[in-house]
Amino acid sequence: MLNNSEWKPVRKAVFPVAGMGTRFLPATKVMPKEMLPLVDRPLIQHAMEEAKAAGIEEFIFVTGRQKEMLEEHFDYQPELQRTLEARGKTDLLEKVRESELSESQLFLTRQARPLGLGHAIWCARKLVGNEPFAVLLPDDVILSDTPCMKQMIHQYNQTGGNMLAVMDVPLEDTSKYGVLDVESDDGTIAKVKGMVEKPAPEDAPSTLSVIGRYILQPQIFDQLSKFETGAGGEIQLTDAIAKFIGNQPLNGFRYKGQRYDCGSREGFIEANIAFSLQDPVIGESVRNMVQKYAQQVQTKVA
């Protein structure tokens, strides 16, 4: 087993963005769900900015059909920039420039068939190569003082191995997540001795559940290449990770922050409220708006 100093640094991140977003139809009939706006930026840009803040240098999108808008969003838009510059809208111009990724940063590959998250990650194997990489699921958005992936990479630089962002969930919700069987837990790092994908509550080894942030070693591709199916008949990433327990360190990382499930309509609405309240421009207006509607609800209940 490698010493901590011998683990390679994390330079690349994979973003699985091939899903159809059926929960948001008809809004996602043409527009990718990752382009749904969270306040003033699409979900995918929130994920990209989190990765960039963590020091990620290469951004790998695993796309599917009708996802061209994702690439366009991060492309250079000279006409738009010239218009904003001519109109003196420097604040908006800066926001547009912040959304760009150059040719040496953005890479795309395709997941032709929806065979599961593990298969989506496998599709990125040639672009990742023989080095560790991060995985960020844009549906999971985390509001925190320090971006979640930056927290994880800081911890990874001390422990190495494979790392999963985790949180405790109600026992009745364990069937929605990959759940850890924990050997030890110091409140920040949980050493993992086993994992179960979407267990029934009575079978769950704990309530410590995996969310959409990972740091993985490239050996994961060897296991994913076997195309073994698990829960739901799909190629599960957590199943492949579990195969390396005992051979490589595997830790659950308790991040600091609030996670929102933007893959559901309720979670998406809640995230927009939470992020809007933190916005320096509209935060106060949104706070007044929320209070107004809360009072209306209380009046109706009374």
100-132 tens-digit pLDDT: 888 889 999 999 888 899 999 999 999 999 999
pLDDT recorded at residue 39:
95
Residues 130-170: tens digit of each pLDDT? 999 999 999 999 999 999 999 999 999 999 999 999 999 99
Backbone dihedral region for residue 148 (phi beyond 0: left; psi -120 to 50: alpha; all else: beta): alpha
| Distant-in-sequence, close-in-space partners of 256: CB < 8 Å, separation ≥ 6 | 144, 145, 146, 151
- Selected from 3.30.830.10, 3.90.550.10, 3.90.79.10, 3.40.50.2300, the CATH number assigned to the domain covering 4-263 reads 3.90.550.10
Distance (Å, rounded) from C-alpha 157 to C-alpha 261?
Answer: 28
Residue type, 69: M
Q: Taking each helix axis as running N to C, give the angle between helix 43-53 and helix 148-159, from 0 to 180 degrees, rounded to the nearest 10.
A: 40
pTM over 0.85: yes
What's the pLDDT band for 98 if we cut at 50, 70, 90? confident
**What are the pLDDT digits (tens) for 28-48?**
888 899 999 999 999 999 999
Domain positions in the chain: 4-263, 267-302
Query: In this predicted structure, what is the pLDDT of residue 264?
Result: 93
Token pair in block for residue 126:
């040639």
The mean of the pLDDT values for the chain is 91
**Closest alpha carbon to 134 in 74, 207, 54, 67:** 54
